Structure 1
Amino acid sequence: MRPITAIGFDADDTLWQNEQYYRWTEEHFQALLADYAEGSDISARLLEAEKRNLAYYGFGIKGFTLSMIETAIEITGGKLPTKAIGEILSIGRELLQHPVETLPHVEETLEALNGENLLVLITKGDLFDQERKLAQSGLGDFFDAVEIVSDKSATTYRRIFSKLADGPERAMMVGNSLKSDIVPAIAAGSWGVFVPHALTWAVEHVEPPSDAPRFRQIETLSDLHQILLEIKGV
């Protein structure tokens, strides 16, 4: 019996670039409010707004844009000009228009694994935006299933891997977020393979579960094949 029969992949900043576009948008947002506050203060207050609003708006561009508007109103004491609101909405829409840039070794890794394991894309965020990026990436045909979820928890991984595969114990989750991709997958009984990205949203930062027997870390996706061989005992 094979120890792993299904592999889940995160999308944003695991398969393609994502956080860098948010950083560029945040810099534009800071410039819009430069007359009211320092850039570091603007970013700190925006992050707090994002955290508050996750329970209401979820993850993704829409929630980020609404958090920018809320932050701008707070920083300006309710005196934010209507024109500035329009500009914030505009830079939020621009996030939906960035081209999809796949990360190194993604396509060849998925091609090598295709057919050997059930491949599942497991991503959170805005439904339309995630569907757009998957379509533009050209990676859709590599996956046997796509799950776009509102959040990632141990319950999420148990449900997905039990529904689509042989259960979480014979599954692996690969991603760049310890908080969303790795820690909950391991809690569900799966393997968790962490692929760090140079840019990671502050909300996703947690300590790595270094003592967990099913935790692994690799530098790029090209190293995933070797991890699978080690687990199989080859």
Structure 2
Amino acid sequence: MTLVLVIAAVVAGGSLTAGAALGLVWTPPKRVLAIVLAFASGAFITALATDLFVESVETAGFVLPAASLLAGAITYVVAILLVERSGRGGEGTTLFLGSLFDGVPESVALGITFVGDAGTLPLFAAIVINNVPEGIGGASDMHSGGFSTTAILVLWTATGIVLSLTVVAGSVLLRGASPAALAVIRSFAGGAVLATLADATMPEAFDEGGPAVAIATAVGFLLTFALALV
């Protein structure tokens, strides 16, 4: 296990907890959060293209990664629908569980980028940039919904720890996997991330930020694409 992997895992998971802690003491304008989420969306698009799907197609052809990507998207949608329809625990719990469903495939994908020759920077940047406003918004909404400060901090800290461990597990447990298996898992995670963007991140950004988020998305794409060239 390399030091870089551990640092990346801690920062990626910890950024969600840090955002939640910040959201308890300060709530920035929704437009600002929307712009940041849009920027993160552009960054995720770069990560999907450079870190995940292209790498999978190069090692396993098109058909298998394509089927896996669709499976990942369908699995995410089904999981979110089940959470929303259950309605258990109210909106705060839904937000919390939604963050887990968002974060786990992203974390697995980040861990896999440390296996082999796949890139790491674009996906890492996208996750960190996305997690901070997500934590801010989630914690703020949970506090408004009646959750105590202690409960919120415990839940989001636990989530950050789980996501950090998932990054490490995604790298360590899959280090000996075949290229085809890595392609399937990488594409599956990419499909879940893509579904997250279409279902939650981009709509939320547009609702709060308006058409300006299109520019922020483009900037996020370009800057993280530049990282991919490093």
Q: What's the TM-score, normalizing by structure 2?
A: 0.32
The structure with the largest strand share of the pair is: 1
Bigger Rg, which one: 1
Is the helix fraction higher in 1 or 2? Answer: 2
TM-score (norm 1): 0.31
